[in-house]
Amino acid sequence: FGVLYVVATAIGDDEDLSARAKATLQAVSLIAAEDTRDAGRLLRELGISTPTMAVHEHNEADRVPVLIERLQAGESLALISDAGTPLISDPGYRLVAAAHEAGIRVSPVPGACAAIAALSAAGLASDRFHFEGFLSAKAGPREARLNALAQTPHSLIFYEAPHRIIDTLTAMGQVFGAARLATLARELTKTFETMKRAPLAELLAWVEADSNQQRGEMVIVVAGAPALAVADEHRISAEALLTILVRELP
């Protein structure tokens, strides 16, 4: 069997594509790419002529059997997405799972990931974190999800589209509280890279005041729920327990 390499590409600065990623893209017989035009541009820059095949959200299920067959025939393949690490808010899960099920070796060629890059520089607790990815574009489900995360004690990582940043920061301020610390990591590794760490209300005001902050690619890292809020919840359940005990005990 061949090997399926899951190859990270850059998230802005092409220099972040590793030497091993380049060698792998050169060595494999086919590159499964989210967008073959983007991939073509990258491969031209790298001087690589490996053929590509489009594997995206809409055709992944159909492509998987074809790709597994080629792997079983002994060809090694690489999987890339438009930017950063495949499968992280990007396609590829079906292919990787099917490869494991078929007994094919899957090997990561790690590199840039916007979530990890943002967390590493956010100045918020990084010992434990929750990656949420994109919230729903619809207000109802988005708020329901934020509510479900409101008591999570770990840093929360969100991906967001620039045209929704104001709505999302507003909703976060309402649900998590205006004072909760957050970091907006924008255009990482690119010319206009910006990192801003502030309480949610201040962060929102800062983004509203400068339309440049409403452009480009962005990650929001939000501090976890303060220990007191979590303790408060436990106190409620302790009180409830006490009431039951008082009622039930002889």
Q: Where do contacts with ligand SAM occur on this chain (CB under 6 A)?
A: 11-12, 81, 83-85, 88-90, 113-115, 159-161, 185-190, 217-219
Helix 165-176 vs helix 139-149: angle between axes, to the nearest 10 degrees? 40
Judged by beta carbon, residue 132 or residue 217, the one nearer ligand SAM is 217
Query: Of the candidates 29, 195, 12, which has an alpha carbon nearest to the alpha carbon of residue 112?
Result: 12
Query: By the 8 A CB rule, do 68 and 89 touch?
Result: no
Judged by beta carbon, residue 161 or residue 231, the one nearer ligand SAM is 161
Judged by beta carbon, residue 2 or residue 55, the one nearer ligand SAM is 55
Nearest distance, CB of residue 111 and ligand SAM, angstroms? 9
> Of all residues in this chain, which one has the CB nearest to ligand SAM in the complex?
84
Q: Which residues contact 198 (CB under 8 A, 6 or more apart)?
A: 181, 182, 206
Nearest distance, CB of residue 183 and ligand SAM, angstroms? 11
Helix (H, G, I), strand (E, B) or coil at 215: coil
Nearest distance, CB of residue 122 and ligand SAM, angstroms? 12
Judged by beta carbon, residue 56 or residue 229, the one nearer ligand SAM is 56
Judged by beta carbon, residue 52 or residue 70, the one nearer ligand SAM is 52
Nearest distance, CB of residue 187 and ligand SAM, angstroms? 5
- CA 104 to CA 75: how far, in whole Å? 11
Give the C-alpha distances (Å, rounded to integers) separating 158 from 21, 74, 184, 206: 26, 39, 10, 19
- CA 8 to CA 189: how far, in whole Å? 15
Nearest distance, CB of residue 178 and ligand SAM, angstroms? 23
